[in-house]
Each structure stands twice: as structure tokens, then as C-alpha cells.
């Protein structure tokens, strides 16, 4: 597509979204520091002037991407099919959705969060608030599971929630460093499944259900509720 003709026909909001998608790809493949505004422009099929029309700098683009990622509503934790799950499966579904989101928007990893908050970055409060919200959601679910007997670890829900987030962040950083050897969707899931089986859960076979198995569980639950 011509940088001078094709894009003139598109609304500015479409061009802006294209810039964000292009930046996401560049940050994921090259890293934030090695990505230039020209790289983003080339990937988006725009001139640098077209980038600066919407964003003052690549830092502003990065912060916009992070803010979009930090929107908890987009994770779907309150979707009806998630809320209906028992606590231990709900907790696993939270992590499944978070992992899927990180895979799609790989630029919004803990490493990018760290870059955005270094040297006086303005994103610290928003990122800390995001982690606080995740910790609260996880700890409430763990507490519910402990009361139900499906989560047997006696550590405080808050400490368990922080531990889960620390494990998850560590797996994501490893995946960023070596995507082929430390793939979050394969190696990461194996680690998380082992963590759940040995630290949190009873040996209930449902704790090993994958995301594809959850739909049938939900359907069975609805049938029981309707009968």
C-alpha cells in the first residue's frame, strides 16, 4: 500500500490502530530499545510524520499499548462462564486467559513494564494497580477454594496469590528471552500445572483440565442447574 495514497482513504482511528499493531510487532520481535519510530512507520506502511501525527514518541506508543493491556475487563475474568467455575478451575482459567493475552500482545510483558517504569517513567502507579487488582482477584478465589476444600495449601491467600503472580512473571520473562525453549504456551503450562497439582490442589482430576475441556464442564453445570 502506498504511504501517500492508500492511507489517506482510511479514517484516522484506523491508522492509529495500525500504528499500535505495528509497534506491538516491532517491540515483540526487536525489543523496545532497539525499535525506532522508523521501524514502526515501515511496519505500519506510513511515514514517520504519520506516526507523529498520532503519537509524540515511541514511549507514548508503548504506554498506550500497556494501558490497553492493563484493562482488566478485556481479560474477561467476570464473564459468566468463568464466574460459574469452581474456584480452582476459575483460578486456572484466569491464568489461561492472561497467558493467551500475553501471547497475542507479547510486547506487554514484565520486561516492558520494567522499562516503562524506569528512569522516572509515568506508568508505575497504573502497573502497580494492575498487579494489586490481580492479587486481590486471585486471593479471593484462593480463599473461596480453601473454604470449599479444593485448594488445600494452608498459606494465606494473599501470599499464594503473590507467589502465583511471581511464578507467572518469571515464566513470561523466560519466554521473552528464549521463545523457542521457554514457550509460555507449552513449557509454561507444564510448570503451572505441576505447581497447581503439588502446591495448591487436591489430586482432583479436574485440576488438570485444559481450556478446551472447560466448555464441556460449563455445559454440564448448566444442565444440572436447569434440571
Q: What average pLDDT does range 100-109 have in this prediction?
A: 66
Q: Which residues of 165-202 are buried (b: 16+ CB within 10 A; e: fewer)?
A: bebbeebbebbbeeeeebbbeebbbebbeebbeeebbe
178 contact partners, CB below 8 Å, separation of at least 6: none
Determine the pLDDT at residue 216: 52
Residue predicted with more confidence, 82 or 149 = 82
Q: State the chain's mean pLDDT as an integer.
A: 79
Joined together, the cell numbers standing for residue 107 give: 510486547
Q: Is 14 helix (H, G, I), strand (E, B) or coil?
A: helix
For residue 19, count CB atoms less than 10 angstroms from its CB and return exposed for 0-12, middle for 13-18, buried for 19 or more: buried
Q: At what angle do helices 58-69 and 37-44 cross, to 10 degrees?
A: 70
Q: What percent of the chain is predicted at pLDDT more than 70? A: 71
Gyration radius from the chain CA atoms: 20
Q: Residue 138 pLDDT > 80, yes or no?
A: yes
Q: What average pLDDT does range 176-186 have in this prediction?
A: 61
Between 18-27, 129-138, 197-206, the lowest mean confidence (pLDDT) is in: 197-206
Between 26-35, 111-120, 144-153, 190-199, the lowest mean confidence (pLDDT) is in: 190-199
Which residue ranges form the domains of the chain, and what is each CATH number? 6-58 (1.10.10.60), 70-217 (1.10.357.10)
Contact status, residue 15 vs residue 7, Cβ threshold 8 Å:
yes
pTM for this entry: 0.75
Determine the pLDDT at residue 189: 65
For residue 164, count CB atoms less than 10 angstroms from its CB and return exposed for 0-12, middle for 13-18, buried for 19 or more: buried
Q: Residue 37 pLDDT > 50, yes or no?
A: yes
Determine the pLDDT at residue 153: 82
Q: What percent of the chain is predicted at pLDDT more than 90? A: 40
Residue predicted with more confidence, 85 or 107 = 85
Q: What average pLDDT does range 148-170 have in this prediction?
A: 89
Q: What is the pLDDT of residues 58-76, one digit of tens each?
A: 999 999 999 988 999 989 9
CA–CA gap between residue 32 and residue 24 (Å, rounded): 9
Instruction: Please name the residue that has the C-alpha cell 519466554.
Output: 175
Amino acid at each position: 500500500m502506498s504511504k501517500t495514497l492508500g492511507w489517506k482513504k482510511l479514517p484516522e482511528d484506523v491508522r492509529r490502530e495500525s500504528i499500535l499493531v505495528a509497534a506491538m510487532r516491532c517491540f515483540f520481535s526487536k525489543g523496545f530499545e532497539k525499535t525506532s519510530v522508523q521501524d514502526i512507520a515501515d511496519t505500519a506502511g506510513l511515514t514517520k510524520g504519520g506516526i507523529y501525527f498520532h503519537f509524540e514518541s515511541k514511549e507514548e506508543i508503548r504506554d498506550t499499548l500497556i494501558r490497553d493491556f492493563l484493562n482488566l475487563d478485556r481479560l474477561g475474568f467476570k464473564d459468566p462462564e468463568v464466574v460459574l467455575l469452581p474456584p480452582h478451575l476459575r483460578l486456572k482459567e484466569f491464568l489461561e486467559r492472561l497467558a493467551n493475552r500475553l501471547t497475542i500482545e507479547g510486547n506487554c510483558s514484565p520486561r516492558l513494564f520494567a522499562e516503562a517504569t524506569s528512569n522516572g517513567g509515568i506508568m508505575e502507579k497504573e502497573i502497580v494497580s494492575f498487579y494489586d487488582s490481580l492479587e486481590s482477584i486471585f486471593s479471593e478465589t484462593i480463599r473461596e477454594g480453601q473454604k470449599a476444600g479444593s485448594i488445600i495449601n494452608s498459606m494465606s491467600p494473599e501470599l499464594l496469590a503473590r507467589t502465583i503472580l511471581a511464578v507467572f512473571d518469571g515464566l513470561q520473562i523466560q519466554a521473552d528471552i528464549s521463545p523457542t525453549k521457554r514457550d509460555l504456551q507449552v513449557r509454561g503450562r507444564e510448570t503451572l500445572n505441576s505447581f497447581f497439582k503439588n502446591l495448591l490442589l487436591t489430586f482432583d482430576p479436574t485440576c488438570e483440565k485444559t481450556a478446551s475441556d472447560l466448555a464441556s464442564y460449563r455445559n454440564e453445570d448448566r444442565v444440572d442447574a436447569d434440571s
